Amino acid sequence: MPGELIFIGAGLSRDDISLKALSAAKSCDMIFAEEYTSRLSDCSMEELETIIGKKINVLRREEVEEEEIPIEHALTKKVAFIVAGDPMTATTHISLRIEAEKKGIKTKVIPGVSIYTVVPSILGLQHYKFGRTTTLVYPEKNFFPLSPYYVIKENMERGLHTLVLLDINAEKNRLMTVREAVDILLEMENRAKNNVIKEDSLACAVARAGAEDSIARAGTMKTLREENLGKPPHTMVILGELHFTEKEALETLCGYREM
């Protein structure tokens, strides 16, 4: 009997999982998950196992992308692949889905609440005022890509905000903090010298989006660097031009005070 591969979004925090996702996960023969593209804010995989009532096998990147373990099992079984946030915001999962379809496996996507929508919503920023999104990665020796800087520049020139996603280093179990991100962004400015990001540039920081102890702050890069935001996951927004209702939202919801 041909199998099935269901991509399930678990959302960002505890109990963000939808009724549809829960019922699909319960109906599967095997459940896989990964934690290298995205992490739940306040809920462990063990807790998610308890909510679903089934064993979750957490895979490493090579097990998903090279060995294609979810596909292998989905050839004959009904398999769930669970990801924090929305399961298709990571391009690597789109490839996995196409690969499965090509092998004749029926696929399905059950969306999850995503950082793409939740962060603007938490901050009270207008969704249609966001330009393209970018991701900051941990620099390595001889690897310091400036592409996020130019995405921010392009958005800023159009008065648009930029959602800045922060890297996860799954092997080291290290999630980038806003403090680290500010340092990286300022170092980018230092190298590219286009006068895009300065210590007094306005930005927002969100820690543990969606969780009960979530924190949202707005201020200069310098003040955000000094904020005690607690544990990651963290996310940033580099602000473009603020509409007055956005300014009001940042003041009311994120402790923003104009300087």
> Which amino acid is present at 147?
S
Taking the least distance from each CB to a copy of itself, the nearer of 13 and 223 is: 13
Q: Which two tokens stand for residue 32?
A: 């896989």
Which residues make beta-bridge pairs with 135? 165
Give the footprint of a copy of itself on this chain (CB under 8 A): 9, 11-20, 22-23, 51, 86-89, 91, 94-95, 97-98, 101-102, 109, 111-114, 116-118, 120-122, 124, 126-135, 154, 158, 160, 210, 245, 248-249, 252-253
* Pick 161 or 225: Cβ nearer a copy of itself: 161
Q: How far is the CB of 204 from a copy of itself (least distance, A)?
A: 14
Of 156 and 225, which CB lies nearer to a copy of itself in the complex structure? 156
Question: Which residue, 132 or 198, has its beta carbon nearer to a copy of itself?
Answer: 132
Q: Closest approach of Cβ 118 to a copy of itself, in Å? A: 5
Cα distance between residue 251 and residue 124, in whole Å: 10
Smallest distance, a copy of itself to C-beta of residue 145, A: 14
249-255 contact pairs (CB < 8 A, 24+) = 249/123, 249/124, 249/125, 250/123, 250/124, 250/125, 250/204, 250/218, 252/124, 253/122, 253/123, 253/124, 253/216, 254/123, 254/124, 254/204, 254/216, 254/217, 254/218, 255/217, 255/218, 255/219
Nearer to a copy of itself, 92 or 226 (CB): 92
Least distance from C-beta 103 to a copy of itself, angstroms? Answer: 11
Expressed in angstroms, the distance from the first to the final Cα of the chain is 65
State the minimum distance, in angstroms, from the CB of residue 62 to a copy of itself: 19
219: tokens are 């201020």
